[in-house]
Homo-oligomer: A and B are copies of this chain.
């Protein structure tokens, strides 16, 4: 494996989150992250495309899970109902990671570049969901609109979960957001 210790990639992500939290994203240099992880700056950029990406290692996994759940829904389910299944699946993987999610979210919301990166990850998720819906026969622009709505619902539920007390779980908060959404879209 590596030249020295294993899990270089994970060590870098951990060091980055710590440093971004301690002194802020902008005040942290990549060289400092690499040093805390026992590596060099050059190696950081072999594992992550840039200084922002180190906080988004799990986004591909989330997207894959969400999409798979939507695709696994009965073919005659309405777009919104297929998305509901995806929302459930995506919510479950966060179950025991709330402390980590909170630390990460605090860092991201504190910096515009990181917010931008988060938005493009969500846009990628939305694009993938729209493609999956089209594959199920949903025409455009309904597929894209439904996908965007699904992501918005997840985002709202997720943010409420971060602020909520420990006994409120993400799956339920996202479901609540979904029914709020349906009410608003119906003109309520």
Contact = CB atoms under 8 A, between A and B. Distances in A.
Nearest to A81: B187
A156 interface: yes
Interface in A47-79: 78-79
Nearest to A183: B142
Interface residues of A, number: 33
A171 interface: no
Nearest to A138: B184
A148 B147 CA distance: 12
Interface string A113-145: 001110110010000000000000000011011
A89 to B, nearest CB: 20
A148 B119 CA distance: 13
Interface stretch (A14-22, A34-42, A95-103, A174-182): A174-182
A188 interface: yes
A159 to B, nearest CB: 9
B116 A177 contact: no
Nearest to A146: B184
A149 B151 CA distance: 10
A43 to B, nearest CB: 23
Nearest to A117: B116
A111 to B, nearest CB: 11
12 contacts: A80-B187, A115-B123, A116-B116, A116-B117, A141-B180, A142-B183, A142-B188, A145-B156, A145-B181, A149-B184, A152-B152, A185-B185
Interface of A: 78-81, 112, 115-117, 119-120, 123, 141-142, 144-146, 148-149, 152-153, 155-156, 160, 177, 180-188
Closest 5 CB pairs of A and B: A185-B185, A148-B152, A119-B119, A116-B116, A141-B156
